[in-house]
Amino acid sequence: MIDLHSHVLPGLDDGAQNMDDALEMCRIAQTDGIHTLVASPHCRNGVYHNDQTKILAALETLKKTLSREGISLKLLPGVDILIHPELIAFLDQNPRLLLGGRYVLLELPNLSIPPHTQDFLFKMQLKGYFPIITHPERNSMIQNNPEILEELVRVGALAQVTAMSLTGEFGRQAQESANLIIKSGLVHSIATDAHSPNRRPPILSKGRKILEEMFGPEHALMMVEEIPGKILRGEPVEGIPMMEFSPSRSSFFRRLFMR
């Protein structure tokens, strides 16, 4: 399996706090059947000031430590970046943090959707940057209005659900939201979003098992291996068939932001 989203680099954000944490997380990932892990620390405007220089240096140190410890896990650089006005400029200056040279993990605020998000995502794509929205099932507005995510996917974004949301470890509301948006064809991959060896470990197999029970093994494999593989190779990801949320639906974004 491929895990496109983890906070395994020690000391860069609220993920692994030291090298021991990072090593244990990598051991857990390998045991779970993950062969490729994207190290994607937070980069939030005003909170975490990570860039490719810091991330690549930390990644190289961890790679060398894994080699000494005999852990054969492939590590790749990435970033989990909060949407903000300087995002495109940041990506211009930090191209090695793109997945497959074109995809970026994009984090939305937990409690809101910034105005004009659709327009911003469109501008990103005009610049050649393709957003993967991380853990949309944990955004309270999307939980109450899944149409929001549909609108973002329709303008070209991909969506990634956290495996622990599927298992219920982020609570019932996140679990129900994850189930709904996956069933609606709005989700392209699942990832661990791992932060620690214990409370939030890099375990993808439990989420994969739930997907197998819901949709069958082929669909589960697509979301933990095939589509993540395409992303890492920089290949286009085809759309997944979507269902309507109501017979007579109007755009949530038009109602909310374009009055």
Six-digit token string for 148: 């929001």
pTM value is: 0.92
46: phi then psi, degrees, rounded to nearest 5: 90, -5
Does position 24 have pLDDT exceeding 70, yes or no?
Answer: yes
Which residues sit opposite 190 in a β-bridge?
161
Half-sphere exposure of 203 (CA within 13 A, CB side): 15
Does position 225 have pLDDT exceeding 90, yes or no?
Answer: yes
pLDDT confidence of 47, banded at 50, 70, 90? Answer: confident
Domain map (residue ranges) of the chain: 2-238+248-257
SS (H, E, C) the chain: CEEEEECCCCCCCCCCCCHHHHHHHHHHHHHHCCCEEEECCEECCCCCCCCHHHHHHHHHHHHHHHHHHCCCCEEEECCEEECCCCHHHHHHHCHHHCECCCEEEEECCCCCCCCCHHHHHHHHHHCCCEEEEECHHHCHHHHHCCHHHHHHHHCCCEEEEEHHHHCCCCCHHHHHHHHHHHHCCCCCEEECCECCCCCCCCCCHHHHHHHHHHHCHHHHHHHHHHHHHHHHCCCCCCCCCCCCCCCCCCCHHHHHHCC
pLDDT of residue 129: 98
Q: 């996917």: which residue's tokens?
A: 153
d(CA 155, CA 157): 6
> What is the rounded average pLDDT for all residues in the chain?
92
Specify burial of residue 135 (Cβ count, 10 A radius: 0-12, 13-18, 19+).
buried
pLDDT confidence of 240, banded at 50, 70, 90? Answer: confident
pLDDT confidence of 249, banded at 50, 70, 90? Answer: very low
pLDDT of residue 251: 47
Place domain 2-238+248-257 in its CATH homologous superfamily: Metal-dependent hydrolases (3.20.20.140)
Inter-residue contact 42 to 80 (CB < 8 Å):
yes
pLDDT per residue as tens digits for the range 90-108: 999 999 999 999 999 999 9
pLDDT confidence of 46, banded at 50, 70, 90? Answer: confident
pLDDT of residue 158: 98
pLDDT confidence of 242, banded at 50, 70, 90? Answer: very low
